[in-house]
Amino acid sequence: MFKKYILSNTKAKIGIAIILFFCLVAIFAPLLAPYNPRAITFNPWEKPSLMHPLGVNSYGQDLLSQLIHGTRVTLTIGIFAGLLTSLIGIAVGLITGYVGGILGEVLMRVVDVLLVIPALAVMIVIASFIPELRISGTIIIIGALSWLRMARSIRSQVLSESRRDYVDAARALGMGPWEIMFREILPNIFPVVTANMIMVITASMLTEAAMSFLGIGDPSLTSWGRMLSLANEMSAFLYNAWWWIVPPGLCIATLGYSFMLIGNSFLDIYANDRGGAVKL
């Protein structure tokens, strides 16, 4: 399974290589960072040099060190919020797609209502009522409000699979609804589930960056979004301090693109197996 869906696809291998690179940077951040990311010990607005490859911000902090340590926060929130989102989305998608009934109708009406409301706006409102928003709180807020589109995508695939012969055969053998959902249908939509999971991880990282950019979250933590937020507050554009703006933005884009490469590779393989295009 792993070899079929990952190792045989070029896009997936490129995406995995990029993600592994960032994971290694996050793991060995204390060893790779040349300075304490929060230490105010240098001249403000220093341009990139041998001592400071990415320059210094307006506070006198080394930006390369902040970029390296920010990898930890961004990856942690993105992955765990994405996993929480996936668990909720898979559960709701399976229940509404196969079990249906009153519970399924209620869940889908809840999804329809919540999809009308901008998720980021709701996150901002909720976060404003939390006095100290730590990493765990950020993960819960993002995960609890980002599962809607994934649930609809999983539901559409489950509705299609529930009409197939192997599901009828499972019913004839006396298998119950929950056993059919998790032992028969879920493995058969594995590529779609995985692609959705990877997409929501990407979305979670972008959401964290947006929240940090807006000043929501733990100010004591250094993330890529927080770096961009401080750059905006200190008017880095006016000082032409590109070294404070481009690196974190490029890292967010690159990491997000790597997850999307993997997600698209799963959809490509699934579409080839089923003989048609698949949409999330």
Query: Cα separations (Å) of 173 from 44, 176, 207, 251?
Result: 72, 9, 45, 51
Nearest to 208 by CA among 85, 33, 88: 85
Map out the domains of the chain as residue ranges: 2-30+54-274
Ranges of H-type helices in the chain: 2, 10-27, 29-32, 63-94, 101-116, 119-128, 135-145, 148-161, 165-172, 177-180, 186-188, 190-213, 224-233, 242-274
Query: Which pLDDT band holds residue 270 (cuts at 50, 70, 90)?
Result: low
Query: What single letter denotes the amino acid at residue 192?
Result: V
Residues, the chain: 280
CA distance 267 to 277: 8
pLDDT of residue 3: 57
Question: What's the token pair of residue 136?
Answer: 């765990």
pLDDT in tens, 112-170: 888 888 887 888 888 777 767 788 888 998 988 889 889 998 998 899 888 888 888 98
pLDDT in tens, 181-223: 988 898 888 878 888 888 888 888 888 888 888 877 777 788 8
CB 55 within 8 A of CB 97: no
Q: What is the CATH number of domain 2-30+54-274?
A: 1.10.3720.10
CA distance 155 to 96: 6
pLDDT in tens, 35-59: 999 888 889 999 999 999 999 999 9
CA distance 277 to 262: 16
CB 23 within 8 A of CB 75: yes
Query: Cα separations (Å) of 168 from 31, 172, 180?
Result: 57, 6, 10
pTM over 0.85: no
Q: What's the distance, CA 18 to chain centroid?
A: 15
Taken in order 180, 182, 185, 188, the sign of the CA dihedral is: negative
Query: Cα separations (Å) of 277 from 131, 147, 264, 280?
Result: 46, 23, 11, 10
